[in-house]
């Protein structure tokens, strides 16, 4: 159906890709160390609407780095409207000698309405490192100083070093109230000087020629339109928006899936590390 839609509305493909097809570098990610010795790990915070693929992105990165499928973060059913992740949890990725110096926080999805989903106030506190690991977000009342789960003196490791907005290329449109919440989160990050990138997920489901061959991603006019949309509506520079396909139903690793994710991850690490240098 996606292919049909793509084809009906406009010719689906550019002859020349509009961006070079990346060959993400696994070694770069595997050998990364925060450039400041006092910082144990680079902390990546993911936010975005429910079902956009935040947990799947963490799982995908984990699988790629471990060289096999891994399921550390619970993935919700595709149709779920209510967010599944309510706990503020740091996801670490194992390696032979311990853990990678790269950790992820998947905050509860941003939902429609004011009393559902995680409150943007809580997201700000989390970015500053004030939310303790395993804290259960309460969608009715934000965390405040003095509460259990409030970290009064966050270390450089507790802070978020890069914010990643996760958007699905396969949803018709994001509700205005959710867009508004996303804007608030971005503005808070901007005020804290935290760098930001955007990943555009579900590119397989969204576009037929990309689904049939992931190498077509930068040939697809449909995906380019989605990237331009993120640029104009959400305000990210074009070169900070990365189309990816998360692992969802595959049983084995795939080079093309890995490449796109590693390409995004390399920028996530570079920008995050720039922030660490300034701490």
Ligand X SMILES: Nc1nc2c(ncn2[C@@H]2O[C@H](COP(=O)(O)OP(=O)(O)O)[C@@H](O)[C@H]2O)c(=O)[nH]1
Interaction site with ligand X (CB under 6 A): 50-56, 75-76, 78, 106, 109, 166, 201-202, 204-205, 245-246, 248
User: If contact means CB under 5 to 8 A according to the sort of partner, which of Mg ion, ligand X, none does residue 116 touch?
Assistant: none
Of 72 and 142, the one with the shorter C-beta distance to ligand X is: 72
Q: Which residues bind Mg ion (CB under 5 A)?
A: 54-55, 85
Report the residue closest to ligand X, judged by CB. Answer: 53
Smallest CA-to-CA distance from 242 within 30, 57, 108, 33 is with 57
Of 54 and 91, the one with the shorter C-beta distance to ligand X is: 54
| Shortest reach from residue 230's CB to ligand X, in Å | 15
Bridge partners of 20, per DSSP, are: none
Q: How many CA atoms does the CB half-sphere of 52 hold within 13 Å?
A: 27
User: If contact means CB under 5 to 8 A according to the sort of partner, which of ligand X, Mg ion, none does residue 78 touch?
Assistant: ligand X
Of 86 and 248, the one with the shorter C-beta distance to ligand X is: 248
| Shortest reach from residue 31's CB to ligand X, in Å | 26
Of 112 and 256, the one with the shorter C-beta distance to Mg ion is: 112
Of 151 and 196, the one with the shorter C-beta distance to ligand X is: 196
| Shortest reach from residue 95's CB to ligand X, in Å | 23
């Amino acid at each position: 159906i996606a292919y049909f839609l793509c084809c009906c509305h406009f010719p689906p493909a550019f002859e020349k890709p509009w961006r070079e097809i990346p060959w993400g570098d696994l070694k770069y990610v595997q050998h990364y160390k925060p450039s400041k010795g006092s910082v144990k790990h680079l902390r990546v915070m993911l936010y975005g609407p429910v079902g956009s693929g935040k947990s799947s992105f963490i799982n995908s990165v984990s699988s790629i780095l471990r060289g096999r499928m891994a399921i550390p973060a619970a993935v919700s059913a595709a149709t779920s409207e209510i967010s599944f992740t309510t706990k503020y949890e740091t996801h670490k990725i194992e390696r032979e000698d311990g853990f990678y110096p790269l950790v992820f926080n998947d905050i509860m999805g941003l939902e429609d309405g004011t009393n559902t989903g995680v409150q943007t106030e809580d997201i700000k506190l989390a970015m500053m490192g004030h939310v303790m690991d395993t804290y259960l977000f309460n969608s009715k009342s934000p965390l405040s100083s003095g509460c259990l789960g409030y970290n009064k003196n966050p270390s450089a490791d507790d802070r978020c070093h890069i914010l990643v907005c996760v958007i699905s290329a396969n949803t018709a449109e994001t509700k205005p109230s959710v867009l508004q919440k996303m804007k608030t989160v971005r503005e808070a990050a901007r005020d804290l000087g935290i760098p930001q990138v955007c990943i555009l997920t579900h590119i397989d489901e969204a576009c037929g020629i990309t689904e049939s061959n992931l190498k077509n991603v930068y040939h697809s006019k449909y995906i380019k339109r989605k990237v331009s949309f993120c640029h104009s509506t959400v305000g990210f520079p074009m070169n900070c928006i990365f189309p990816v396909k998360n692992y969802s139903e595959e049983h084995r690793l795939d080079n093309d899936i890995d490449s796109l994710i590693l390409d995004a991850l390399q920028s996530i690490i570079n920008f995050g590390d720039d922030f660490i240098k300034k701490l």
